[in-house]
Amino acid sequence: MHIYNTKRKISVLKFKSGFAMLFAVLLASFLITLGVSIFSVSLKEIQMATAARDSQVAYYAADSARECALYWDVKVGAFPSCLGNNCSDEASSTPIKCNGIDITDLNFSKGDQTLTYSVYRKDFFKFSANLLTEPVADISITKTYEPEDKIIKTTISAFGHNTSILGRRVERGIQTTNN
């Protein structure tokens, strides 16, 4: 009878050691799942913060380009508003500078009632906040003659672009219309 009790004790001990191993595996699985979940949430938060920062940089690039074009149009008259046969087919001869950078690649097109001046992919900043990507802006200045009102409407459209470290491109635009 004494031998039977010994065997029974041994079998109970084996059952308890198997339970400890199962409990350890379940606890490790839970901790790994919790760690991966926290990492995933943190990664999404970093992506959202980066997108918000890049959106602001793109907006500032568009705003800077729009303000520069508005200044050169209103204060200096660099974008002539002549419409008709006596208007030159070339862009303004006034040298344009924004933030110390020469704007030399100004495109010009003439329609029946419109004149369009545009610059694409121009860097309006001498430095970048993160030193890895340079924000750029596209500007389009359109002058439209409206014969019924006998006014020339000027529309300035600026689109700022910024490509982040993660390779995602952000674009923000501003449009201003003046009479």
Q: What is the pLDDT of residues 170-179, one digit of tens each?
A: 888 999 888 7
pLDDT 10s digits, 128-172:
555 455 778 888 888 888 778 778 888 888 888 877 666 677 888
Coil, strand, or helix at residue 167? Answer: coil
CB 168 within 8 A of CB 155: no
**Domain annotation covers residue 4:** no
pTM of the model: 0.68
Name every residue whose Cβ is closer than 8 Å to that of residue 81 and which is 6 or more positions away in sequence. 115, 143, 152, 154
Give how many domains the chain has, as a whole number: 1
Mean pLDDT for all residues in the chain = 76
**Domain annotation covers residue 9:** no
CA atoms within 13 Å, Cβ hemisphere of 92:
23
Q: Which domain holds residue 137?
A: 42-178
pLDDT 10s digits, 71-80:
888 887 777 7
Centre a 10 Å sphere on the Cβ of residue 120 and count the other Cβ atoms it contains.
12
